[in-house]
């Protein structure tokens, strides 16, 4: 009675740094505060939420940064412990100002992550040998559903003289999304049906893995899954020939994971009502048939097209008359 068609659209997000390295001359005796130049823009009105664009929101956003002191013959030392960085006094910096080392032989390395709300959770660890200088032993997207987890490129060899552009413009903080994101799941009909109304009653993500550890550029994903997570709107969505958003929220963060030979997918429950008969169907669309897996820093949109098979008749045939002829002699 039905056919079910699905189409996938994928959009990647890329955050790029717009920092500059202008050379300036500074006197060694100057005390110059450490300030930042972050790259990213938050689209939500709350402190956490999905981040888009190339500029950090000065009104709502903040991140965590730390710095370490390096000098030949001196043991590496913590210079700025993990601190909240936000826009105030016309600069991106910490609550109390930290200043660049005076020695021309000393350098700083910087490590930053987002969002700031993770600072007290103890989730992110200093790990200087890793790509970003940071690592995560355990992270659960179900515990932090609204956190757009990001690491910034680590900065090494920074100083007043060697990287004087950082003094003028701020220490670059070019963030990278570590999670995947589902933007929306949209539904529409493949044609108008005058004798049937179709409504989407529920949409769920099924068998999604949600815990893992992160180091360098790789997630090590646990096998634990969320059996079913309902993400549809509270009320049923009447489906038309135009795409309608069926998901409730603007985004759903997903732990990057492979989908090959797995049960992850979208379960959709919809009802076909002809006025005389009502049928409810609940197929599952498995991600392994659509994508290779969820990749870091990619936002996915899934467009689902629902159609009905019209009842039609084959070319009518008619059993022809059989003939009967009788001969009668009339006298």
Of 10, 16, 11, give the one whose Cα is nearest residue 40: 16
Q: Let me know: does 64 contact 111? Beta carbons within 8 Å.
A: no
Every domain range in the chain assigned CATH 2.60.40.3690: 2-9+180-308
Confidence of residue 37 (pLDDT cuts 50, 70, 90): confident
| CATH architecture group of domain 14-23+31-177 | Sandwich (2.60)
Percent of the chain with pLDDT over 90: 76
Element (H, E) at 60: none
Q: pTM score, two decimals?
A: 0.84
Backbone angles phi, psi at 54, to 5 degrees: -125, 5
> Can you read off the two tokens belonging to residue 125?
């660890």
Q: Let me know: does 306 contact 4? Beta carbons within 8 Å.
A: yes
Summarised one tens digit per residue, pLDDT across range 62-87 is 999 999 999 999 999 999 999 999 99
Domain 2-9+180-308 in CATH 1.10.357.10? The answer is no
3-class SS at 226?
Answer: strand
Confidence of residue 126 (pLDDT cuts 50, 70, 90): very high
Among positive and negative, which fits the CA dihedral 97, 100, 101, 107? positive
Average model confidence (pLDDT) for the chain?
87
pLDDT at position 115 is: 94
> Can you read off the two tokens belonging to residue 199?
């409504």
> Can you read off the two tokens belonging to residue 17?
């740094």
pLDDT at position 196 is: 94
Question: Is pLDDT of 260 > 50?
Answer: yes
Q: Distance of CA 170 to CAs 22, 103, 270, 284, Å?
A: 11, 19, 53, 49
């Amino acid at each position: 009675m039905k056919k079910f068609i699905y189409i996938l659209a994928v959009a990647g997000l890329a955050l790029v740094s717009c920092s500059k390295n202008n050379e300036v001359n500074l006197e060694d005796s100057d005390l110059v505060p450490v300030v930042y130049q972050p790259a990213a823009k938050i689209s939500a009105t709350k402190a956490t939420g999905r981040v888009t664009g190339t500029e950090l929101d000065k009104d709502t956003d903040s991140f965590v940064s730390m710095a370490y002191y390096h000098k030949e013959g001196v043991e590496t030392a913590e210079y700025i412990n993990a601190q909240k960085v936000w826009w105030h006094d016309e600069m991106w910096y910490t609550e109390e100002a930290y200043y660049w080392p005076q020695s021309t032989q000393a350098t700083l390395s910087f490590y930053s992550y987002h969002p700031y709300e993770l600072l007290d959770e103890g989730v992110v660890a200093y790990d200087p040998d890793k790509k970003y200088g940071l690592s995560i032993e355990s992270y659960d997207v179900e515990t932090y559903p609204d956190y757009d987890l990001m690491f910034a490129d680590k900065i090494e060899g920074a100083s007043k003289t060697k990287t004087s552009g950082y003094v003028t413009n701020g220490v670059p903080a070019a963030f990278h999304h570590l999670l995947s994101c589902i933007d929306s799941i949209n539904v529409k009909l493949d044609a108008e049906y005058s004798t049937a109304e179709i409504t989407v009653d529920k949409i769920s993500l099924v068998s999604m893995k949600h815990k893992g550890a992160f180091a360098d550029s790789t997630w090590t994903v646990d096998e634990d899954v969320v059996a079913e997570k309902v993400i549809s709107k509270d009320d049923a969505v009447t489906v038309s020939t135009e795409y309608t958003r069926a998901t409730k929220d603007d985004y759903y963060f997903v732990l990057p994971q492979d989908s090959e030979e797995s049960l992850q997918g979208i379960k959709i429950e919809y009802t076909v009502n002809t006025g005389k008969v009502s049928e409810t169907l609940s197929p599952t669309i498995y991600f392994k048939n659509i994508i290779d897996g969820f990749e870091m820093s990619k936002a996915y949109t899934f467009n689902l097209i629902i159609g009905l098979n019209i009842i039609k008749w084959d070319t009518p045939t008619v059993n022809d008359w059989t003939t009967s002829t009788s001969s009668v002699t009339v006298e």
